[in-house]
Structures are given as structure tokens and as C-alpha cells.
Amino acid sequence: MDSDHSSELEYRHLLSFRAVAASGSFHEAADSLDYTQSAVSQHVAALESILGVRLLDRSRGRRTVEVTEAGALLLRHADAIVARMRAARADLRAYSEGASGKLSVGTYQSVGARVLPATLGIFTGLWPEVEVHLVETNSDDGLLNLVESGDLDLSFAVYPLSEGPFESVELFRDPYVLVVPAASPLARLNRSLTAREVSEQPLIGFRHCRSTVGAEEYLRANGGNPEWVFRSDDNTTVQALVVAGIGVALVPRLTVDEADPKCAVIQTGVPPRVLTLAWHRDRYRSAAQVAFVELARQVCLELQQKVAPKLA
């Protein structure tokens, strides 16, 4: 690339190129960006002229535009540049808003049921002018990508974190337990189950969960050969199937409704999952964001103290 012309490259050139590459159409790209089609064409043409390579294949007879090999190479850099620009805008927005504005937090089922309500209850009382926007998924998969791009300020996540520009604080060590019908002989055992004993049961668990993968690996590494009779991403469904006698559930304790008299909870030797709250290490952290992290840590500290005696 001629360095004399590189200064002519504009952010909108990259936006238009990414949009065409994603949709395969100049028309659809223009709609998604709220540009005219001619503007998108001009942006891409200018980008190709500046870089001196063809980025898109506009061959006759094709209904869609295809990315060339050079375009695919640029696209990787363009995605990173756009993500950094979004993060920069989020930083400036947080800086200017101070104690008001919006705080975006990623969460998932078990955290949403046990940790998030208590944290929000305190936070909204202390920071009434901050609007908390929640993004919920079945597990923490994908949430850290939104933190990296600037779409989320914070996200609950399970350690170890995926690779990226993240920092985090440990919140809670959530032990893996076996949920069995209250009438099961297992419910009368006054001890923790071994990996082999757990693996001998017809198991119910979660379908998409990094921590469940870790639990399975632990069982196999310690003499077990677990067989799963059912998997679900819904906590309520998993526990209902235990009550119905379909199997027993190997799950983190936070996912269990221990008020259900039809179930019993048994300790296991499976290492706990470690819950964290993560943020982008290179982004400005507002006072409200720092306060939310500290409140979540205090809530989880109290929760850990309540759970710990039960596991003794």
C-alpha cells in the first residue's frame, strides 16, 4: 500500500466495505448503513483505489458480490478497527455521562436468578439516574464478545475467560451438586459422592455450558464414564425431569431451587465453577460501573457464606 495515500482512508470506507462483504449486496449494505447505494459504491471504490487491490468480485451473472482473497485479508483488520472504534465511543459516552446514562450488563440464567436481583436492588437505589440495560443468554458464551466490541460494559462470566482484552473479579465458587428425587436412596447418604458414583447414575445436565464440559472432563479423569439421558438449557426443565424420575442432575448449586421438597441436593467432588464479573481492560470505567462490580462482589460474598455451611 502506498503510504502517501493511506491517509485518505476513512472510517466510512471500512464500514461500507464490511457491510457489502456481510450481505453480498451493495443495495442491502446501503440499507443497513442508511446510506445511498451510490455512496456505498463510491466508498468501496475509493478504498480499492487507496489500497491498490480489488476487494470485491463484481463478476457479471452473479446475483451477489463476493469477497476476494485480498478483501478477506482486509476484513480481519477492518473488524478489529470497527470494534475498537465502538469501544472508543462507549468510553467517551461513559466519561461524559458520569453518574447518569446507561450501564449495559451481560447475564445468564443462574446468575439472573440468584445474584443479579440482589445486586440490582441495591444499585438502583444508590444510582437512580443510571439505566441498567441487561442482555441475557443461556450461558456466558458470546457475552464477552459484546464486552470486547463495546456493546456491553460488564458481563458475568465463568472462569477461565476466553482470550481477549478482559479483566475480571472473582465473585463466587459455585459447587457442583447432584439433584435427586427426595425419595431416592441417594438422598439418605451423609457424604459426598465420588466421580465414579456420580457417573453410574443416569445423568441430566445442560446442553450448552462451558462449565458442564469441565465437569464431564473431571468425571472421566477420575474413573467415571458418565452417560447423559437428557440435556436442556433451562434450569427449571432440568429439575422437573429429576422430579419425574428421568434421571439425576449434575448441576451448579446456584441453578437449583432448593425450596422444592420433591428434590434433595447431594455434594460431589466435582470442582466448583468460578463465577466472575468481567470488563474490557482498555476501556474507561465509570464510577457507576465500578460500584456495580463492588456491589456484586459483596452480594456474592454473603451468598457464599450462606452456602458454605451446607457443604461442610
Rounded Cα–Cα distance for residues 143 and 162 (Å): 10
Dump pLDDT digits (tens) for 105-145. 999 877 877 889 999 999 999 998 889 999 988 667 689 98
Rounded Cα–Cα distance for residues 53 and 1 (Å): 9
pLDDT at 95 over 70: no
Dump pLDDT digits (tens) for 194-227. 899 999 999 998 876 777 888 889 999 998 888 8
What local confidence, expressed as pLDDT, does residue 60 receive? 67
Dump pLDDT digits (tens) for 228-283. 899 988 888 999 999 999 999 999 898 898 889 999 999 998 999 999 999 999 88
Q: Which residues of 85-109 are buried (b: 16+ CB within 10 A; e: fewer)?
A: eebeebbeebeeeeeeeebbbbbbb
For the chain, what are the domain ranges? Answer: 3-89, 100-173+274-311, 176-271
State the pTM of this model.
0.66
Please state the three-class secondary structure of 246-300 as a single string.
CCEEEEEHHHCCCCCCCEEEEEECCCCEEEEEEEECCCCCCHHHHHHHHHHHHHH
CATH topology match: 3-89 vs 100-173+274-311: no
What local confidence, expressed as pLDDT, does residue 306 receive? 72
Say which CATH topology domain 100-173+274-311 has: D-Maltodextrin-Binding Protein; domain 2 (3.40.190)
Q: How far is CA 129 from CA 27, 119, 279, in A?
A: 41, 16, 21
Rounded Cα–Cα distance for residues 156 and 101 (Å): 20
Class of the domain covering 176-271:
alpha beta
Mean pLDDT across the chain: 87
What local confidence, expressed as pLDDT, does residue 1 receive? 42
Number of Cβ within a 10 Å radius of residue 152: 24
Say which CATH topology domain 3-89 has: Arc Repressor Mutant, subunit A (1.10.10)
